[in-house]
Structure 1
Amino acid sequence: MNKKNNIGLIFIILLIGFLLIGCNGNQTTAEEKPELEQYFLEANGTFVLFDLNQNTYIRYNPIRSAERFLPASTFKIINSLIGLETGVIPDENYVIQWDGTPYDVPSWNQDHTLKTAIRNSVIWYYQELARRVGKEQMQESINAIDYGNRDLSGSIDTFWLEGGLRISADEQVEILKRLYANQLPFSEKTMEIVKEILVLEKTETYQLSGKTGSVQRVMPHTGWFVGYLETNGNVYFFATNYETTDQNGISNGETARNITKTILQRMELIP
């Protein structure tokens, strides 16, 4: 083989090498973290995190992260999107009047806007919102989003609390990724409003957005916390859920939130 052919062969080998490196750089990777079990010693649970810059998933208990559960109040994210997009509510400041029914949660016993309703997880507000949207429009929107199992069996105002709707932690993360990137089938205005009302904490170093959920009406009682963390020029999407033997179940969502924040601190993503 002459010198010219050798140079050509070397060039081809280098080119293939660079192409392979480029392809590998774009691949999504996944890592299992069994050591996170210490945060789920009292309950069967799962944690999923997607690192946007690294294009990497981190999971504890990946079998459970693929299992579907009732979304409970995490569905308020989707309910808000659909309510805004259909024009049932014009903006985050739209007031629905409290009908006077007394609730055990004092903050529910008053008029609410979309913004205050999601902050206080006011079930009655979102039940009324769902009734105004109607089952046909709700189903059409759920199909367009490809949300979980798409099953809206049960009442229009309880299907996410005790009806047929189910979604996995993995699917929750994918929905959040699409919301953040404005890739859901809604207007940019609608998605920006919902992203704004999801903000829970805003500091000089990070912004945490998300929604808790507590499955209380059916077994298993499940706690959810789903959302995303923006910090150091990166975004981390997450979903935590776990089962509890607590027959009340009211605090499940807050417990999931606490577990999530502890894990994020362990990963040195928040102080």
Structure 2
Amino acid sequence: MKQLKNLAVLLVLLGAVVLFISVDPPKESYAANNNLNMKKIKVDEFFTEYDGTFILRNIKNGRSFIFNIDRANQRFAPQSTFKIPNALIGLQVGAVEDEYDIKYWDGVVREIEVWNQDHTLGSGLRHSVVWYYQAMACDIGEERMEEWIHRISYGNRDISGGIDQFWLSSSLKISPIEQAKFMEALYKEKLPFDKSVMKTVKRIMIQKEGDNYTLYGKTGQGSDLGWYVGFIEAGNQAYSFVTNIVGTSADAKHITMDILKKYHLMTE
């Protein structure tokens, strides 16, 4: 009887070891099965010329794929991806009334031609108009901005770099994994903002629509840093995504769209 008990204990221990080994993910990339068969997702081919990371997360079941998990956990300046929380905060505190709220061009000629005109909250996000969102950040003010950055637990929450500069290669930093979680919370409308505020910002994030998908996104550009973050509705599924590379935001967006097309999340 004692030998049988010992054998039973040994089998339980062996089973636990096998289970532990079976769920331990590789270091560089890992995936979980979903309707896209995410175990078979392969994105190495899109990063042959770039040091970067890519995250794709099924919002409905929480299963994720991460390429280059080391970089995915590093924090970087959000650059113009911060226009998303900036817009949310601005609307919530009344610094702007709605997506059509106009700020008038100050006459200073800037390097991007489309910036040299009046803009609204919506057009400012779509064209990544830095001066508009800097002006709105000043209207929000340091005290309210800091309060809301802490309420949404945005990255390292450090706005010490100046009210109109802290997200631009300055004090505020956020990791790609934190970006992905923020995008998912926005999609689900689980952030501590009014529902109408979140719906407005989601609407102005729309970049492309097809018969079977809607793509929401925002680029961010720094020195040797490119972001593209957002989410996509495809059929009855929704996925958040983040691409972060040593390169340009245009390259990050191009990589993202190529991956989404390869796996038929974007179809014409």
- The aligned counterpart of 1:106 is 113
1:162 Cα shift? Answer: 2.2
Note if contact 1:173-1:239 (Cα within 8 Å) is conserved in structure 2: yes
- The aligned counterpart of 2:251 is 255
Q: How many residue pairs align between the two structures?
A: 232
Note if contact 1:33-1:60 (Cα within 8 Å) is conserved in structure 2: no
Identity rate, percent = 42
Q: Structure 1 residues 209 and 196, CA, compared in 2 at 3 Å: closer, same or farther? A: same
Structure 2: state its 5+ residue gaps.
Answer: 1-29, 33-38
State yes or no: 1:238 paired with 2:234.
Answer: no
Which amino acid counterpart does residue 134 of structure 1 have in structure 2? Answer: G
Q: Which moved more, 1:119-128 or 1:53-62?
A: 53-62
Aligned match for 1:160, one of 167, 170, 179: 167
Alignment of 1:28-107 (within 5 A): 30-31=31-32, 35-107=42-114
Local SS of the residue matching 1:256: helix
Per-residue CA deviations over 1:78-110 (Å, capped at 9, x if unaligned) read 000000000010100000011000011110000
State yes or no: 1:227 paired with 2:234.
Answer: no
- The aligned counterpart of 1:150 is 157
Q: Structure 1 residues 35 and 182, CA, compared in 2 at 3 Å: closer, same or farther? A: closer
Whole-Å Cα distance in 2 between the matches of residues 85 and 69 of structure 1?
A: 26
CA RMSD, 1 decimal: 1.5
Q: Which moved more, 1:44-53 or 1:80-89?
A: 44-53
Whole-Å Cα distance in 1 between the matches of residues 70 and 160 of structure 2?
A: 26
1:33 Cα shift? Answer: 7.5
1:35 Cα shift? Answer: 3.9
Whole-Å Cα distance in 2 between the matches of residues 174 and 201 of structure 1?
A: 22
Which amino acid counterpart does residue 200 of structure 2 have in structure 1? Answer: I
> What TM-score results when the alignment is normalised by the length of structure 1?
0.83
Q: Which moved more, 1:29-38 or 1:139-148?
A: 29-38
1:77 Cα shift? Answer: 0.2
Q: Structure 1 residues 134 and 33, CA, compared in 2 at 3 Å: closer, same or farther? A: farther
- The aligned counterpart of 1:26 is none
- The aligned counterpart of 1:269 is 265
Structure 1: state its 5+ residue gaps.
Answer: 1-28, 245-251
Local SS of the residue matching 2:252: helix
Whole-Å Cα distance in 2 between the matches of residues 89 and 53 of structure 1?
A: 32
Whole-Å Cα distance in 1 between the matches of residues 78 and 105 of structure 2?
A: 24
Which amino acid counterpart does residue 69 of structure 2 have in structure 1? Answer: P
Which amino acid counterpart does residue 226 of structure 1 have in structure 2? Answer: V
- The aligned counterpart of 1:214 is 221
Q: Structure 1 residues 61 and 92, CA, compared in 2 at 3 Å: closer, same or farther? A: same
Whole-Å Cα distance in 1 between the matches of residues 151 and 176 of structure 2?
A: 19
> What TM-score results when the alignment is normalised by the length of structure 2?
0.84
1:55 Cα shift? Answer: 2.3
Whole-Å Cα distance in 1 between the matches of residues 88 and 221 of structure 2?
A: 20
1:232 Cα shift? Answer: 1.2
